[in-house]
Structure 1
Amino acid sequence: MYTEGKTIGGYLELQLPEGKEHYPSFIHLNTGRNAFEYLLRIKKYSLVYLPYFSCEVLMEPLRKLKIPYRFYHIDRKLEPLINFEPEFNSCLMYPNYFGIKTETVRQLSTRVDHLIIDNSQAFFQLPVTGVDTFYSCRKFFGVPDGAYLYTESNTRLSLESDISAYRCSHLIKSIDLSIETGYYDYLKNNIGLGNNAIKKMSVLSRRMLCGIDYEACRKIRNENFEHLHTAFSGINELSIDLKNIDGPMAYPLLLPGKGLRAALIAKRIFIASYWPNVLEWTSEEMFENYLANNLLALPIDHRYSRSDMDQIIQIIRKL
């Protein structure tokens, strides 16, 4: 159907598969940290509790809004140690670590009045009804920006759309060249997304997210996670309950030995660090410091097959 003002002719644009988003009814935003800021703005909290073991980028909205914060500890099961009485008009933020702490999220929802769940590492986990929850698309899929926010608050911010046309070079290079070739562009994109204003998710990212086979991605992640757990459950210092696993971000393998990460990277198995900033926030005797130094987040996403998992298993066993 013709729309007045529509361009007709010209060059052929990029064609992307048409489908459905995973969370079409949620608020569409440009980054996970901005989804966190969105919540802080509409809820007007005066104090935030967050774990020592969390990402530095979550500090951006706190600094921007000048909201005081306090750290709390987690135990060796990655569960929060809430041995304090939350202050009036405060909230507690808890990350669903690697997508394996969904049962903990459910339990927290019955104990904490003002709870914010960071599902940046748990894209496929539905929010608990009534609990503010945000997601990061870039942690799970090849998109230049994108986040979702679930909240039952009726308050909405007036926002303009973000533009991601200049943030795709690392994605294109990963296809035409290699992941390594696009890595510098990826880092530049990460820096460029920092300290940005809250905006709506770009049209480009929404189109890209409509072309993903989410069920296939979820299935592969579950299968790869379970395969690694079968191999490593006997040596993994983290306790993992497989019945709560559904499309996790990575397989968290906790082993002592600072040389393992470098050895894996030398074999072209790239392991992200979660999170270097924790080493600055903690002392050596703290468990969170031990996690930051020794946890290996093994890749399990939809790009990889069981034979890829077997390669990871063999390399770690040799090391």
Structure 2
Amino acid sequence: MVKNMPGMRQEIGGYFSFELNQREKTSFHSNGIYLNSGRNALEYILLSLPRISKLWIPYFTCDVILEPLLKLGILYNFYHINERLEICEDIQLESDEYLLVTNYYGIKDKYIQELSSQYSSKLIVDNAQALFAEPIKWVKSIYSPRKYIGIPDGGIAYIKDGIDVHQFDIDVSYDRCSHLLKRIDLGAGEGYMDFKENSYKLQGQPIKRMSRLTQNLFQAVNFDQIRNIRRDNFRLLHGSLSQTNKLPIPDLDSFSCPMVYPYYTDDCTLKKRLIENKVFIATYWPNVFEWCSSASLEYNLASRVIAIPVDQRYVLNDMKTVLSIIK
């Protein structure tokens, strides 16, 4: 935990800051490298590699993945996935090539473990949607905590023998928090444009270490509680929707903690109905509509998977309300 600025004496007196309950003994991602965004966690890993000639990436991913690749001039190839959200091609990596695989919706932990046996140190795991997935020894991975909790930015990288992180400045995040504050005071709708603007500010940012503000917010979180709530909410939804969900959902014991409940449906009106009832549904990912044809699986996943919130803000009765809208 960062308590005061390097080279500065601890200030005494004056106005108060937020009272954040710092969990000194937490082990949650304590061995990770704390950076200022998920995309910069990927850039940090790429910079740490002795050599990379090409990175294989899925069509079904967020376009921010391209930002560090374009910045560093690294070639990339796309690959397709199947309805199990698994690679459907036989990718044979050449020398100095690496494979980026996504832990979709935080439910593909077991599959990622299986891939690690095949690709080992050539594998880079995108755990942006899987904050609770355990890092795998010798496997490089990135995390984006703001997909799970209310923080303005931040990313975590895992790589053996990464470059010295202390060469990078510490970021400053206070000016990217307006959406978090407005949501508390004014509601989600009033803060939405701030959320978009603050997310946009993350584009093109140089690698920096995670800000003190983001670190303090991160370390104040009860992650055990969050994991339990998310799993309970997911379990309830799956119990009611499994028969109509076109997406094969792995056994709940095979993954640590979901980001959302992914409901793959042919009901083209459902997303609109949910939003009209103030159940806000994100689209993962709009860029896929430009990258893929309308006949592709990836296009259909982006347009027809309803990412139902299951997070720690909601209880089982909230999930029952969502189910009443769906049915």
Pick from 7, 15, 28: which aligns with 1:11? Answer: 15
Contact 2:110 2:255 in 1 (8 A): no
Which residue number corresponds to residue 213 of structure 1?
Answer: 222
Which residue number corresponds to residue 62 of structure 2?
Answer: 55
2:41 aligned with 1:35, yes or no? yes
C-alpha separation in 2, matches of 1:139 and 1:4: 33
> Offset of 1:12 from its aligned partner?
2.1
In structure 1, runs of 5+ residues without a counterpart are none
Show structure 1 runs of 4+ deviating over 6 A: none
C-alpha separation in 2, matches of 1:222 and 1:123: 13
Which residue number corresponds to residue 94 of structure 1?
Answer: 101
In structure 2, runs of 5+ residues without a counterpart are 1-6
Give the alignment's Cα RMSD to 1 decimal.
1.4
> Offset of 1:4 from its aligned partner?
7.2
CA offsets per residue over residues 144-169 of structure 1, 9 Å max, x none?
11111111124324210000011111
CA offsets per residue over residues 175-200 of structure 1, 9 Å max, x none?
11111111111111000011110110
Which residue number corresponds to residue 103 of structure 1?
Answer: 110
What percentage of residue pairs aligned between the two structures are identical?
Answer: 39
C-alpha separation in 1, matches of 2:162 and 2:267: 49
Say which is worse superposed, 12-21 or 214-223, in terms of deviation: 12-21
2:246 aligned with 1:237, yes or no? yes
Pick from 150, 153, 157: which aligns with 1:142? Answer: 150
CA offsets per residue over residues 183-237 of structure 1, 9 Å max, x none?
1111110000111101100000111111111100000000000100001000001
Say which is worse superposed, 242-251 or 192-201, in terms of deviation: 242-251
* Equivalent position SS for 1:75: coil
Letter in 1 for 2:153: D
Structure 1 residues 4, 61: closer, same or farther in 2, change over 3 A? closer
* Equivalent position SS for 1:166: helix
After the TM superposition, which residues 59-208 of structure 1 pair with which residues of structure 2 at under 5 Å, given as runs? 59-113=66-120, 114-157=122-165, 158-208=167-217
CA offsets per residue over residues 23-64 of structure 1, 9 Å max, x none?
122100010010011111111311010001000111101111
> Offset of 1:15 from its aligned partner?
1.9
2:266 aligned with 1:260, yes or no? no
Pick from 301, 314, 323: which aligns with 1:313? Answer: 323
Letter in 2 for 1:206: Q
Contact 2:47 2:163 in 1 (8 A): no
Figure out how many residues of one structure are paired with residues of the other and give that number.
315
C-alpha separation in 2, matches of 1:8 and 1:213: 28
C-alpha separation in 1, matches of 2:91 and 2:131: 30
> Offset of 1:128 from its aligned partner?
1.2
Structure 1 residues 155, 5: closer, same or farther in 2, change over 3 A? closer
CA offsets per residue over residues 277-305 of structure 1, 9 Å max, x none?
01111112211111111011100000000
Structure 1 residues 13, 97: closer, same or farther in 2, change over 3 A? same
Contact 2:133 2:255 in 1 (8 A): no
> Offset of 1:256 from its aligned partner?
1.3
> Offset of 1:82 from its aligned partner?
3.1
Pick from 261, 269, 278: which aligns with 2:288? Answer: 278
TM-score (norm 1): 0.96
